[in-house]
Structure 1
Amino acid sequence: MCEDHTGIGRRAVFVTGAAAALTLGSVSFASAADRDGGRETRTVRGTLEPGAPDFVYVPVEVPSGVREIRVSYTYDRPSVPPGTTGNALDIGLFDERGTELGGRGFRGWSGGARTEFFVRADEATPGYIPGPVREGTWHIALGPYTVAPQGLSYEITVTLTYGEPGETPKPVYPPERVKGRGRGWYRGDCHLHSWHSDGRRTPEEIAALARAAGLDFINSSDHNTHSAHAHWAEAAGDDLLVMLGEEVTTRNGHVVALGTDPGTFVDWRYRARDNRFGRYARQIRRAGGLVVPAHPHATCIGCNWKFGFGEADAIEVWNGPWTPDDEMALADWDSMLVASVRDGRDWIPAMGSSDAHRDPDAVGLPQTVVLADELSRRSVQEGIRAGRSYVAESSNVSLTFGASGGRGRHAGIGERLDVDRDTPVTVRVEVTGAPRCTVRLVTDQGVLHTSAPLPVSGSGVVEWRTTPSYAAYVRAELRHEAAAGPLPGALAAFTNPIFLGRRHR
């Protein structure tokens, strides 16, 4: 084993077109003529100081004839005072095609979920892409997520194994359309993590939990990698549509690429100040996906959404068990509905997903219930994009929501009741599976009607009358009993709005 100490004096700063990055001295291996045996190992050590760039690249000079590259790493975790961030170091790999934004050379990312990984032609660690280990300059990508005041000292070990490469398997992807029930309401969870990122479940385990939760569709959304795409085919079936995507985890917020073409990779190495997000939002849409900012008010470092919503096709308002940051996201989204009415512009639908990673995270808590013509990628996406959906905490909870008025006109969730401003309108909500919950009807003025608690059976009907001049839109919330005080209870379900009155531009 050879060692190399990589320090500040050997580094060079370069700009990738986005955030500044840092490249270190190369790790070199013997030439073909000088090889002794079938395996070589090098170890490099270094220290990153507070304020380090978002990404640090360690070049590895890979000679010809390599069958496998294997990388392991460790870093120190010193004690820090309360309220001070400690060390957290992510890792990934780019091949000889380079580290430029766009990801031509991308070969995998495990964030902070793994301490080692390998890549070879016939197989790779989950999170990484199988394929030949070609001659050239590869790069280990380090992401110093947080750095303690004492600095972050790391050690990386690279092992090359020589020999004949295996054969790269041809990827098999899940079907884009399954049997379904024709036009109807379909339940899904579009934000899930497998062991291809920082989850602990296999695709097969996630699919089993999705079926048990009464789901009809799911979306693969591992952090910053598409490696899981080729591992979902066996988990899908006539009773479960599996869409493919990615959670694009930037330093200024996370976005779910929902239902992209198989094999689509979306880069994440930029901040809002770099003015790059629009490029990758367009890439998601060109690949047939939806752009869905995730947990926009989450409190974890780098999770709070800072890119604005001009590129969003939908917003993940409810993420996992109901928490105060979901309440903030709901209020913020409601204000966006008011702005859309005021400005006469398109509105952005809401959705919800579990963001489940591992036990005890519940798949399908919450779930988006979508009106779709069939159980297919395109139809589900069309329903989400149009806002023909509501969000429920489980498959036990169902509701129907509509508004009627004028000469027999009717509108459902995500639609507009096109009547004059003074036309009497009746809003009706039917609920099942929500014992002792209350129904709240929310408009651009706020909450204008709250029902009595539903009976223990969980079923009930609520009607309310208004006019378009009084309520520009109405949406329904199903709330559990409040724990204490004037604050509302946790959500059991909520709908996208029904707009009332003629649209004015």
Structure 2
Amino acid sequence: MGRRALFVTGAAAALTLGSVTFASGADAADGSGTPAGGSETRTVRGTLPTGSPDFVYLPVEVPRGVREIRVAYTYERPSVPAGTAGNALDIGIFDERGTAPGGRGFRGWSGGARTEFFVRGDDATPGYVPGPVRAGTWHIALGPYTVAPQGLAYEVTITLTYGEQAPTPEPVYPPERAKGRGRDWYRGDCHLHSWYSDGRRTPAEIAALARAAGLDFINTSDHNTHSAHPHWADQAGDDLLIMLGEEVTTRNGHVVALGTDPGTFVDWRYRARDNRFGRYARQIRGAGGLVVPAHPHATCIGCAWKFGFGEADAVEVWNGPYTPDDEVALADWDGMLVASVRSGRDWIPAMGNSDAHRDPDPVGTPQTVVLADDLTREAVQDGIRAGRSYVAESKTVSLSFTASGGRGEHAGIGERLHVDRETPVTVRLEATGVPRCTVRFVTDQGVLFTSAPLPVSGSGTVEWRTTASYAAYVRAEVRHEVAAGPLPGALAAFTNPIFLGASGAADG
């Protein structure tokens, strides 16, 4: 296979290989031109060197009369020295509409989760989109995520099956409203993976776990594909709002598209230096979604966030069981809060999600608890965007966090308490489900108050007095006990801030 073209756009280079051809269609049809049965197979082998472009496209010339395309692939995984990345090769496919940015021709992506897939009119492998197999140039997309020093030797086998096209079912999507309780606190997990990407759970299994975790809403976020969207409708109910989205997994960080319109696909084929992220962030918002950078300080290859936070509607500060990278993300977010109040810029709310993939990953650990006007997509998004939320490790943890002035002024999470700079302010946290935890009140000046451990019952109230001149904002952290060492214990919960004093741009 010879190289046909090399396209370079910043760091996100794309290599297009020579075409794979099949019969013209005449051999696959009877004398009347009606497609007959049978199949054809072609196998392509090659080796990608270190420093390969992010995407390698293998064109496949698909003739008339094809009802199904099936692809299988393998690649070598040689031993590498300690500390050196080995081979990892992702795969997906684009149809005859092409591979241009935006993904008009996108028909599926499984990353490295599967070794084969198929696409036909009535069905497709999870991660792929059913629909007609039309004649034209399709492209198998290979993504050499990491390449060993020895190179990445691969083999791709393409099988075309001829015959009548199967009709494509009309997709049905979950409703945008559940029964709800009016204006109330609703619990949700907005970063979840099913078997439609690299998860191992079905939508039914995830929905059952969400209900068991006390969740009122979830958001689907499979990697780089929207193929799961029609498969969630029968899991929604009066007790569970299911929003649709995608985890847009680039080589320079991941972003959750939260609550987009059904069927929205967001492209991921770019790096930070390509200066394309703003375009896709606007697409997410144009499709009714929120832009939420995920696990911004995660240590996995390609996971750390490199696009900046100028387009973010919220940021995922806590991802899964609490780990040191979450502690770094929390400190980084607090630094952004400080910068916002000192510059008068808008602030970015925080949230937490489980990023659950498979057993034993718990769904709803952590979960974002949102004050919303109702249990609808729009109301939940409004609450997240406004920062009217806190993050808890489980359904057993509940917080009430308020600030009040001396003349009846009152504000809750994500709001501003309008008081004079020297007016005494009482900050009050009521907590349940957090035995032996300590409470910390954090301001733009740092941690200014730490409580004694709460009782073993897990319930308690902590108050602290301050002024707007001393603290531009106050947020609460509830921490587990520390076994040893100077570091604070793992989070049991934390809140978005309450701002103190005169109004400003930092109200968001």
TM-score (ref. length: structure 1): 0.98
- The residue matched to 1:329 in structure 2 has which SS? helix
Quote the offset at 1:14 in angstroms: 2.1
Aligned to 1:22: 15
Looking at structure 2, the residues matched to 486 and 345 of structure 1 have their Cα atoms a distance apart, in angstroms, of: 33
Aligned to 1:49: 49
Q: Structure 1 pair 154/466, CA: closer, same or farther in 2 (3 Å)? A: same
Looking at structure 1, the residues matched to 245 and 85 of structure 2 have their Cα atoms a distance apart, in angstroms, of: 31
List per-residue Cα deviations over 1:464-496 (Å, max 9, x = no partner): 000000011000000000121111000000000
Residue 301 of structure 2 corresponds to residue 301 of structure 1 = yes
**Residue type of the partner of 2:268?**
W
**Residue type of the partner of 2:308?**
G
Q: Out of 34-43 and 474-483, give the one that drifted further.
A: 34-43
Looking at structure 1, the residues matched to 261 and 5 of structure 2 have their Cα atoms a distance apart, in angstroms, of: 37
- The residue matched to 1:448 in structure 2 has which SS? strand
Aligned to 1:390: 390
Q: Do the aligned partners of 2:98 and 2:139 also contact (CA within 8 Å) in 1?
A: yes
Looking at structure 1, the residues matched to 412 and 79 of structure 2 have their Cα atoms a distance apart, in angstroms, of: 55
List per-residue Cα deviations over 1:405-455 (Å, max 9, x = no partner): 042000000000011100000000000010100111000111111111111
**Residue type of the partner of 1:86?**
G
Aligned to 1:3: none
Q: Do the aligned partners of 1:430 and 1:462 also contact (CA within 8 Å) in 2?
A: yes
Aligned to 2:281: 281
**Residue type of the partner of 2:267?**
D
Q: Structure 1 pair 21/482, CA: closer, same or farther in 2 (3 Å)? A: same
Aligned to 2:349: 349
Q: Out of 97-106 and 481-490, give the one that drifted further.
A: 481-490
Q: Do the aligned partners of 1:103 and 1:266 also contact (CA within 8 Å) in 2?
A: yes
Looking at structure 2, the residues matched to 327 and 321 of structure 1 have their Cα atoms a distance apart, in angstroms, of: 11
Aligned to 2:34: none
Quote the offset at 1:15 in angstroms: 3.9
- The residue matched to 2:307 in structure 1 has which SS? coil
Aligned to 1:232: 232
Q: Out of 317-326 and 495-504, give the one that drifted further.
A: 495-504
Looking at structure 1, the residues matched to 372 and 154 of structure 2 have their Cα atoms a distance apart, in angstroms, of: 50
Q: Do the aligned partners of 1:16 and 1:100 also contact (CA within 8 Å) in 2?
A: no
**Residue type of the partner of 1:62?**
V
List per-residue Cα deviations over 1:326-356 (Å, max 9, x = no partner): 0000000000000000011110000000000
Aligned to 2:464: 464
Looking at structure 1, the residues matched to 3 and 422 of structure 2 have their Cα atoms a distance apart, in angstroms, of: 74
Q: Do the aligned partners of 1:123 and 1:130 also contact (CA within 8 Å) in 2?
A: yes
- The equivalent position to 1:10 in structure 2, one of 3, 8, 30, is 3
Quote the offset at 1:34 in angstroms: 2.6
Residue-pair matches, total: 498
5+ long unaligned stretches in structure 1: 1-5
- The residue matched to 1:207 in structure 2 has which SS? helix
Quote the offset at 1:11 in angstroms: 4.0
Q: Do the aligned partners of 1:391 and 1:494 also contact (CA within 8 Å) in 2?
A: yes
Q: Do the aligned partners of 2:10 and 2:273 also contact (CA within 8 Å) in 1?
A: no
Looking at structure 2, the residues matched to 15 and 306 of structure 1 have their Cα atoms a distance apart, in angstroms, of: 20
Looking at structure 1, the residues matched to 199 and 504 of structure 2 have their Cα atoms a distance apart, in angstroms, of: 47
**1:102-501 equivalences in 2 (<5 Å):** 102-501=102-501
- The residue matched to 2:228 in structure 1 has which SS? helix
Quote the offset at 1:20 in angstroms: 1.7
Q: Structure 1 pair 504/245, CA: closer, same or farther in 2 (3 Å)? A: closer
Identity of aligned residues (%): 85
Looking at structure 2, the residues matched to 136 and 165 of structure 1 have their Cα atoms a distance apart, in angstroms, of: 15
Quote the offset at 1:504 in angstroms: 4.5
Aligned to 2:33: none
5+ long unaligned stretches in structure 2: 30-36
**Residue type of the partner of 2:215?**
L
- The residue matched to 1:41 in structure 2 has which SS? strand
**Residue type of the partner of 1:44?**
V
Aligned to 2:28: 35
Looking at structure 2, the residues matched to 461 and 423 of structure 1 have their Cα atoms a distance apart, in angstroms, of: 22
Quote the offset at 1:503 in angstroms: 2.6
Looking at structure 2, the residues matched to 104 and 182 of structure 1 have their Cα atoms a distance apart, in angstroms, of: 39
List per-residue Cα deviations over 1:79-131 (Å, max 9, x = no partner): 00000000000000000000000000000000000000000000000000000
Q: Do the aligned partners of 2:89 and 2:144 also contact (CA within 8 Å) in 1?
A: yes
Q: Do the aligned partners of 2:28 and 2:65 also contact (CA within 8 Å) in 1?
A: no
TM-score (ref. length: structure 2): 0.97
Q: Do the aligned partners of 1:344 and 1:503 also contact (CA within 8 Å) in 2?
A: no
- The residue matched to 2:15 in structure 1 has which SS? strand
- The residue matched to 1:227 in structure 2 has which SS? coil
Q: Do the aligned partners of 1:18 and 1:276 also contact (CA within 8 Å) in 2?
A: no
Quote the offset at 1:16 in angstroms: 6.3
**Residue type of the partner of 1:257?**
A
Quote the offset at 1:31 in angstroms: 1.2
List per-residue Cα deviations over 1:358-411 (Å, max 9, x = no partner): 001000000000000100000000000000000000000001000000420000
Q: Do the aligned partners of 1:224 and 1:246 also contact (CA within 8 Å) in 2?
A: yes
**Residue type of the partner of 1:415?**
E
Q: Structure 1 pair 434/298, CA: closer, same or farther in 2 (3 Å)? A: same
Quote the offset at 1:176 in angstroms: 0.1
- The residue matched to 2:265 in structure 1 has which SS? coil
Looking at structure 2, the residues matched to 289 and 371 of structure 1 have their Cα atoms a distance apart, in angstroms, of: 18
Looking at structure 1, the residues matched to 391 and 237 of structure 2 have their Cα atoms a distance apart, in angstroms, of: 24
Quote the offset at 1:294 in angstroms: 0.1
Aligned to 1:90: 90
Q: Do the aligned partners of 2:90 and 2:142 also contact (CA within 8 Å) in 1?
A: yes
Q: Do the aligned partners of 1:16 and 1:101 also contact (CA within 8 Å) in 2?
A: no
Q: Do the aligned partners of 2:189 and 2:364 also contact (CA within 8 Å) in 1?
A: yes
